[in-house]
Amino acid sequence: MSAASFAPRPVTRWIIGALLLAVFAIPILSMIEYSLRDGDAHSLVHWAALFDPALAGTYRPVWTGLANSLVLALVTVAIVLVLLAPTVILVELRFPRLRRAFEFVVLLPISIPAIVVVVGLAPIYQGIGRAVGTGIWTLAFAYGITVLPFAYRAIRAAVDAVDLPTLSEAARTLGAGWTTTLLRVIAPNLRQGLLAASLIAVAVVLGEFTIASILGRQNLQTALVVVGKQDPWAPVILSLLSLVFAFALLAVIGLAGRTRSKRTLP
C-alpha cells in the first residue's frame, strides 16, 4: 500500500485545520470580548485606562515589570547567541563524539520543574548577589538555563540542514580565520535557526512567572498579578498585546528567511 493512500482527504484536512484554528481563535476572541466589556455595552475604556496619566500609579508596576522583562529578554538572547550557538557549532565541527552527551545536558532542564530549578539556584543567587548585586539582569542566568532545550532544538535543526564541515573547511582554505568563518560564513547560513531560537527565548522570558516570583524579582508576569488584583482587565489586555508582539516577531522571522532564500537563489 502506497504512502499516498494514508494521506488524509481534503475534507479531513480542512476539518483538522478548522479545529486547530478554533482552538487558538476562541480563547483570543474571548479575551478581546472580555477586555471590551463596559457594563452592558462594549467600549475601549479599559484599554484607554492603561495610558491614562491619572492612573499612572496604578499601572506603574506593569511598565516597570515590562521594562525588566525586556532587559531580561535581551540578556537571555545574548546568552543564546553568544554562548549556546557557538558551542553547538564547536561541538559539531571539532567534537562530534560529544554531540550526544552535549545534547543530553542541554535538554536536561526541560525535565526539571521550574520550582526545583529555583531551589537549586537560590544558594547560587545569594553568591551572585554578593558578587555583582541583585540587579534584574542577573535573573537572565536562570532564564538562560530554562530556554536551553527550546533554543537548542531550533539551532540544531538549522545545523542539520547545512553542511557545516564543508563550509568551514572552504572558508579556512581561502584564508579566513575562525572568527570570520563563524560570523560571515556559518552564522548567515544558520540565520533562521538563530532567529527562531531568539524568538523562543523572548517568548519564554515574557511568560515566565515561577522563578521571578520565588526569587523575589519583578518581571511582567509578577507585575500582572499585582495589578490584576486592582484591575482584572489589565492582565488580559497586556496578554493580548504580548500575543501581538509575538506574532510580529514571527512575521519578521518569516520575512527574514524569505529574503535570505531569494538572495541564495541563482
CATH number at residue 142: 1.10.3720.10
User: Cell 496619566 maps to which residue?
Assistant: 53
Q: Is 217 helix (H, G, I), strand (E, B) or coil?
A: coil
CA distances (Å), 87 to each of 27, 98, 127, 186, in order?
39, 11, 26, 13
Q: Are 65 and 234 in contact (CB under 8 A)?
A: no
Please count the other Cβ atoms lying within 10 Å of the Cβ belonging to residue 86.
Answer: 14
The pLDDT, as a whole number, for residue 102 is: 92
* Model pLDDT, residue 262: 57
User: How many domains is the chain partitioned into structurally?
Assistant: 1
| Domain contains 39 | no
Residue 14 domain flag: no
Q: Which domain holds residue 135?
A: 60-223
Query: Are 145 and 203 contacting, i.e. CB atoms less than 8 angstroms apart?
Result: no
**Residue-level pLDDT at 260:** 58
Give every residue of the chain whose pLDDT is below 50, as ranges.
265-266
Question: Could you tell me if residue 17 is inside a domain?
Answer: no
Q: Would 3 be classed as within a structural domain?
A: no
In a domain, 154, yes or no: yes
Q: Do residues 158 and 197 make contact, with C-beta atoms less than 8 angstroms apart?
A: no
Instruction: Round to whole Å and give the CA distance between 163 and 142.
Output: 32
pLDDT for the residue numbered 266: 47
- Does residue 265 sit within a domain? no
pTM for the whole thing? 0.78
Q: What are the grid coordinates assigned to 128, written together?
A: 551572585
Sign of the torsion formed by the C-alpha atoms of 159, 163, 164 and 167:
negative
Q: Can you give the pLDDT at residue 4?
A: 58
